[in-house]
Structure 1
Amino acid sequence: MTSDRSVVLTATVPVGTPPVWALLQRRLFDVLDDAWRAFADRYCAPDGSLRYAGRVEERDGGDDFYEAFFNWPVLYRLGGADDLLDASKHHWRGVTAQLTELGLVVDEFERGYDWFHLGESMLLFYGICAADPADPEFAARARKFADLYLPGSPSGNYDPVARIIRAPHNGAGGPRFGLQKEWASYGADLTSMSRFGLPLRDLDGITRWDDLADPAHARRMGDAMNARIGRGDTAVDLAATSLAVNAWLYDHDDRYRDWALDYLGAWHERAVACGGVLPDNVGPGGTVGELHDGRWYGGLYGWSWPHGLYSVGNAAVVASVNSVLLGGGDELLSLGRAPLDAVLDHGIEAPVTGTDMSISDRWLAELGDDADRPTLLVPNRHADTGWFDHQPPQLGLPLWLLHASGAESDRDRLERIRKASGYDWRTVRAFRNKEEAGHEAPWLAYLNGDNPDYPAEILRVALGQAARRLELIAADTTDPSDMHIHHWQRINPVLTEALLQLTTGTPQVLYNGGLLPTRLAYWDAGRGRPGLPPDVAALVDTVTADRVRVELVHTGHRHPRTVVVQAGGFGEGRIERVVTESAQSGHPGDPRAYVAPEPVLHSGEIPVGAGHLTVELPPGRRIRLDLRLTPRHRPPSHQTAPV
């Protein structure tokens, strides 16, 4: 939290009949605090590790262990249980020791893997750092991890001359050339990968998946993958800049800022040279296409294989958000913008059902019955034959660009997608995907004033999904030796998407390595910690570049609460003024009357000129704050407490 002066406001408007959303929101906090305890009791050992006795591949699995807890510190930051922060740290330490024993972690960091997965594994760590920046142990780790990628690091991950991360698999063990040994022979028996097609499409005699049934072809494909996909830099490594930004947020050590901006700048220059579209590969000499006959596509987790936009776009937008945090200039936002515009320019109109796509299950859940309706589909992948693998746009990507920039061009991109969609953006469906995202469309409709029931509906969905997972936990008799390595993340009962949207005006975190600069942040003055106080619910209904409107409701009847409202989760914003309302005294009225008197409201504008303001909430009172902001008034930083 920021330490400058703070205006103090007192809520005077009676709550009267409590709004449904406020009661559901407080109920969700209560349910989630029960839920994470139930998960820990069922799946965790006393040392914080996960009970697991199954197989772990040579270079896979570390992310899956950390992902089981990825959003727990976020819940704490929003107002979860006091002991949730210590629990998050306990499980991080336990899992890290567990993975060290399994050989996947060295000196508390992944030995060497790709940043599509490393980004997933780091969310728990980033969340702990943001929730408790005063913890010297995690602050030291943040710097240690970021140091692995600085020029001159003994790890050797980074080549400052070529301005590349030297191998797609990288980490505490330095560049780890090649791919996992399980892919040394890449054959047709790898059925889980068949839907993504051939990793390389230019090998003589291997033109379709079934050709890999020949052991000679499988070995040749494995050799080529190790030699070409397993060397040089790849676009998903852009997510490594989150390590540097996270370390920089502690004390603004410019070593981290300088490296991140230089690395982002190198990729920006490559994109400009490729006509604007972000390439996915750079060879050991620093040249795009060096290992792919000049192609800008073909790298690991790149445009051609296996996920395309799902991996490249995520890393690109993570990079764009990081560039804004570092004050790197709007031109670096093109890293995230250009890929989205490229695929939008090649969009088609077709239904999800009946369209050949590599990932369809998530869209069947998100669209429900509307999956049969023609809608905008954009290509996720590119090969010699052009763009292919059309799927609905992932709204979290353009939404995070708007969240970071506030620019009208980013707002226009979302409106372009909405107009081309063949389904009603107001519909709220009861699903939860791996990223715990996907409800961006109805939330945006709400913020645009076109979906007034969204807060209550999304909270009901969250409560239902949490209840389902609690039932799955209670009924789960799976033996640790038979447990799938994705089992825990599939059953994690903590849900933060709805709470982030409604209380802070912020989308769900970008899952493959994003930091979480929330639009608003809260501090519970009574407990001296981040988050909303007990009994207090918050609802953001307006978000623009320089304005946020939020309502705070005290749903309790006994204890007064004091909440500090901050502009920006990293303290980067400044509240210039606030428009608020007050009520004349007179409530609850004459006891002989059958109803309470209607409050007489008065609106007024108050200058603030600070990073935060303080609100005193007597029981049964509410207040609406229309905050007028300067969004990037000061450099962002990890905050400890307001004064």
Structure 2
Amino acid sequence: MQAYKETAVKLRIDRPFRPPEWAALQQQLMDKLNRAAEEFVGKYVQPDGTLLWRSVWPGMDGSDDPYEGFMNLALLYVLGGHRSLYEHARKVFDGITWQWTEYGQIHREFDGYYDWMHHGEGSLFFYFLGLADPDSLKDRQRARRFAQMYTGEDPEAPNYDSERKLIRSPINGSRGPRFVMTEEDWMTHRGILDDYLAPFEDLTGVDIKSGKCPWSDDRVYKEIIQKMNERMAKGDVPLNLNATSLIAHAFMHSGEEKLRQWVIEYVGAWRERAEANGGIMPDNVGLSGVIGEYNEGKWWGGYYGWRWSHGLFTIVEPLTNAAMNAVLLTGDRNWLDVVRRQLDLNWELRRQLDGKWLVPHKHLDSGWTDYKPANPAYPIYLWTISMDPQDIRRYERLDIAEFYKEVEIPIVSGRNPHTGKETKHYIANTVPWFEYIRGNDPSYPEKILKANLTLVERQLDKMRSPEGEPAGWITDGYNLKDLSSIHKWQEMCPVYPEGLLQLTLGAPMHISHGGLQHARVRYYDAAARRPGLPPRVSALVERIEDDSVTLTLVNLDETEEKEVVIQAGGFGEHRFTSAEVRDERGETVQSVPVRGKWLQIQLGREAGAKLVLTMERYVNRPSYETPWEPECPAPLIQSRTIT
């Protein structure tokens, strides 16, 4: 029998509690997601864990997409989904890793080389497995090995220059920095990139003002690859800051201080580069550490930088991930200033059009351009970490359009033509959740859960239609447009738990290009010794403040009591100080001191209560440890040295 690591305070709640609508809807959504996941796996996964797919897959792209398509199997399990979800997740993760190794994209279980937009997306599955089963020897071993590829300890992957504190190429991975790209590397993207902005302003016969670039034209394509190798293939870019999630993930498995120091060092290096550039984050740094070394001294024009199609997005998003990781590992919320500085400078450059403030998203040789509304998600992510009113003011100054505040049933990753919202991984309701958690929309829990139920049903219909038949995707030809079918698993996946996650964990979903899943609280089923809420138990985080969280727990089971362990923080980084139990009328019926990161709740049959839990935030070392000791923790395997 596994023992608890610390003496957790135990509370017993026996008072009957009439289940609110949201509680019943949570159970309905969980049941539907569990069934949908089984159908999804049954349709697309072969018995050995590999996917029904083609026999040849070219280019450096692609392994992130199947991981993205199936990663929510692990995440739903973490929230309380069926045990079979974890078993499927484990088998599919290993199957994808083997399959894309055979195709040639993966080497030593990690992408041989690609950028941290795609490494970040593909790594989410790996991060969720850390939350699902931190005792997994495979995952702990992989976490250490993958981290060494970026800390300078792996001679086969010399990605990091520890002296200059830079990652040596935008294209990197288990084979090390990719200083010279080839036409084969990019071939799977050519048809897609035809509709994107040109990466250079001096491509022969290409007008940057058109907003498009014919990558499928062989002449243009050759010139793009040539200029990439001359100007973009060497040196560091802000996109590489997404690697801090990989290092933080390894730290939470091992607690090794050198990993924490690496994150501090690397984020600090980019902060210094921005300061040296007048506050604006440069998008390219040469191997010598000089800004604009391969771009005629220009701080813009780097890979996935200010002149790239995504512009501001691929500067601020990895910076936000990195700053949140730095706070998590140090407890110092001042790290968020590195993001705030960029948002504030960008805001200072705003223009007004038709009564709306627009900010520049790109910088060309002619100056700032591509003015459009600022993304309200970044101040929200900052606020969930800081709880600082200044970040609410950064949100409110944007004069958010009403459609952002409406609950949305998102479309396939991209821009919704009806609302203009852009989504990735069906993460579409960060703003409505924020309005709810601020007290502005008490009906949000019911609305988001109903919207998610509709989304799952819509996805199942699509999966069951001719569009969802894998036989129609599988071809070994190289038609440039057909190669985009690599995204089909994401487009068909019905396992999207945004509402469940937001409402139970008290946080927005992870940032989709490689962010860790931060949370105010998470749960364990104490009887089953596993992560997630016990069956038939619903939870709603109703309010979060700097020093407290208010949530309601309800046991909808008529025949069985439930035992729930609540953890302070997604990674145990917070500490509870007291617990107050309130009944349906809001009257306090019990109050106890806690002083720990776990609180054990015994829920009677059909019982429930509102809990006001005070806490100290970012005072514990974050980790993946569970409330109980592992039965037999296995030491990491040590490789032999062959001489």
TM-score norm. by structure 2 comes to: 0.88
Partner of 1:622 in structure 2? 608
Distance in 2, Cα, partners of 1:486 & 1:252: 36
SS in 1 for 2:83: coil
1:396, 1:507 within 8 Å by CA — same for their partners in 2?
Answer: no
Distance in 2, Cα, partners of 1:142 & 1:324: 20
**1:613 Cα deviation from its structure 2 partner:** 1.1
1:13, 1:582 within 8 Å by CA — same for their partners in 2?
Answer: yes
2:204, 2:220 within 8 Å by CA — same for their partners in 1?
Answer: no
1:459 maps to which of 421, 425, 449: 449
Partner of 1:505 in structure 2? 506
Partner of 2:581 in structure 1? 580
Partner of 1:198 in structure 2? 198
Partner of 1:165 in structure 2? 167
Partner of 2:143 in structure 1? 142
**Bigger Cα displacement from structure 2, 389-398 vs 242-251:** 389-398
1:431 maps to which of 400, 403, 410: 410
Partner of 1:445 in structure 2? 435
Distance in 1, Cα, partners of 2:357 & 2:449: 28
Partner of 1:477 in structure 2? 469
Q: Tell me the amino acid that sits aligned with residue 539 of structure 1.
A: L
SS in 2 for 1:381: strand
TM-score norm. by structure 1 comes to: 0.88
Partner of 1:256 in structure 2? 259
Distance in 1, Cα, partners of 2:534 & 2:474: 41
**1:220 Cα deviation from its structure 2 partner:** 3.3
1:338 aligns with 2:338: no
**1:2 Cα deviation from its structure 2 partner:** 8.3
Partner of 2:553 in structure 1? 552
**1:486 Cα deviation from its structure 2 partner:** 0.5
**1:603 Cα deviation from its structure 2 partner:** 4.1
1:289 maps to which of 289, 292, 295: 292
> Please, which runs of 5 or more residues in structure 1 have no aligned partner?
352-373, 584-598
Partner of 2:246 in structure 1? 243
Partner of 2:269 in structure 1? 266
Partner of 1:181 in structure 2? 183
Q: Tell me the amino acid that sits aligned with residue 614 of structure 2.
A: R
Distance in 2, Cα, partners of 1:87 & 1:47: 11
Q: Deviations over 1:215-252 (max 9, x none)?
A: 66653343112211122111101111111111111221
**1:211 Cα deviation from its structure 2 partner:** 8.7
Q: Tell me the amino acid that sits aligned with residue 481 of structure 1.
A: I
1:605 aligns with 2:607: no
Q: Deviations over 1:411-469 (max 9, x none)?
A: 2212223xx12326542222254332121221111112121110000000001001111
**1:624 Cα deviation from its structure 2 partner:** 0.5
> After superposition, where does 1:79-228 map in structure 2 within 5 Å?
79-154=80-155, 155-182=157-184, 190=190, 192-202=192-202, 207-208=207-208, 219-228=222-231
**Bigger Cα displacement from structure 2, 531-540 vs 299-308:** 299-308
SS in 1 for 2:266: helix
Distance in 1, Cα, partners of 2:203 & 2:127: 41
Paired-residue identity, % = 36
Distance 1:438-1:344 versus aligned 2 partners, 3 A rule: farther
Q: Tell me the amino acid that sits aligned with residue 498 of structure 2.
A: E
1:119, 1:514 within 8 Å by CA — same for their partners in 2?
Answer: yes
**Bigger Cα displacement from structure 2, 382-391 vs 505-514:** 382-391
**1:258 Cα deviation from its structure 2 partner:** 1.9
1:382, 1:388 within 8 Å by CA — same for their partners in 2?
Answer: yes
**1:149 Cα deviation from its structure 2 partner:** 1.0
Q: Deviations over 1:58-77 (max 9, x none)?
A: 11111112111122211111
**Bigger Cα displacement from structure 2, 398-407 vs 231-240:** 398-407
Distance in 2, Cα, partners of 1:211 & 1:319: 31
SS in 1 for 2:474: helix
Q: Tell me the amino acid that sits aligned with residue 314 of structure 2.
A: S
Q: Deviations over 1:382-423 (max 9, x none)?
A: 222223233443333222222222223222212223xx1232
Q: Deviations over 1:591-624 (max 9, x none)?
A: xxxxxxxx89444432111112111111111110
Distance in 2, Cα, partners of 1:439 & 1:498: 8
Partner of 1:299 in structure 2? 302
2:61, 2:186 within 8 Å by CA — same for their partners in 1?
Answer: no
Partner of 1:360 in structure 2? none
2:197, 2:213 within 8 Å by CA — same for their partners in 1?
Answer: no
Distance 1:270-1:2 versus aligned 2 partners, 3 A rule: farther
1:281, 1:302 within 8 Å by CA — same for their partners in 2?
Answer: yes
Partner of 2:564 in structure 1? 563
Distance in 2, Cα, partners of 1:92 & 1:207: 43
Partner of 2:44 in structure 1? 43
Distance 1:12-1:106 versus aligned 2 partners, 3 A rule: same
Distance in 1, Cα, partners of 2:182 & 2:553: 51
Distance 1:310-1:33 versus aligned 2 partners, 3 A rule: same
SS in 2 for 1:485: helix
Q: Tell me the amino acid that sits aligned with residue 610 of structure 1.
A: G
> Please, which runs of 5 or more residues in structure 2 have no aligned partner?
412-422, 476-481, 630-643
1:196, 1:307 within 8 Å by CA — same for their partners in 2?
Answer: no
Partner of 1:631 in structure 2? 617
1:185, 1:221 within 8 Å by CA — same for their partners in 2?
Answer: no
Q: Deviations over 1:275-295 (max 9, x none)?
A: 222211111111111111111
**Bigger Cα displacement from structure 2, 114-123 vs 258-267:** 258-267
Partner of 2:488 in structure 1? 487
The count of aligned residue pairs is 601
Q: Tell me the amino acid that sits aligned with residue 400 of structure 1.
A: Y
1:233 aligns with 2:226: no
Cα RMSD for the two superposed structures: 2.5
2:59, 2:185 within 8 Å by CA — same for their partners in 1?
Answer: no
Distance 1:396-1:600 versus aligned 2 partners, 3 A rule: closer
2:551, 2:612 within 8 Å by CA — same for their partners in 1?
Answer: yes
Distance 1:376-1:83 versus aligned 2 partners, 3 A rule: farther
Distance in 2, Cα, partners of 1:437 & 1:257: 29
SS in 1 for 2:611: strand
Distance 1:545-1:166 versus aligned 2 partners, 3 A rule: same
SS in 2 for 1:481: coil
Distance 1:231-1:428 versus aligned 2 partners, 3 A rule: same
Distance 1:32-1:338 versus aligned 2 partners, 3 A rule: same
Distance in 1, Cα, partners of 2:367 & 2:206: 19
2:60, 2:185 within 8 Å by CA — same for their partners in 1?
Answer: no
1:524, 1:564 within 8 Å by CA — same for their partners in 2?
Answer: yes
Q: Tell me the amino acid that sits aligned with residue 29 of structure 1.
A: M
**1:37 Cα deviation from its structure 2 partner:** 0.9
Distance 1:68-1:190 versus aligned 2 partners, 3 A rule: closer
Partner of 1:589 in structure 2? none
Partner of 1:365 in structure 2? none
SS in 2 for 1:13: coil
Distance 1:331-1:278 versus aligned 2 partners, 3 A rule: farther
**1:512 Cα deviation from its structure 2 partner:** 0.8
SS in 2 for 1:401: helix
Distance in 1, Cα, partners of 2:353 & 2:430: 21
Distance in 1, Cα, partners of 2:521 & 2:493: 26
Q: Tell me the amino acid that sits aligned with residue 474 of structure 2.
A: S
Partner of 1:14 in structure 2? 16
Distance in 1, Cα, partners of 2:617 & 2:589: 24
1:59, 1:180 within 8 Å by CA — same for their partners in 2?
Answer: no
**Bigger Cα displacement from structure 2, 22-31 vs 292-301:** 292-301
**1:634 Cα deviation from its structure 2 partner:** 1.1
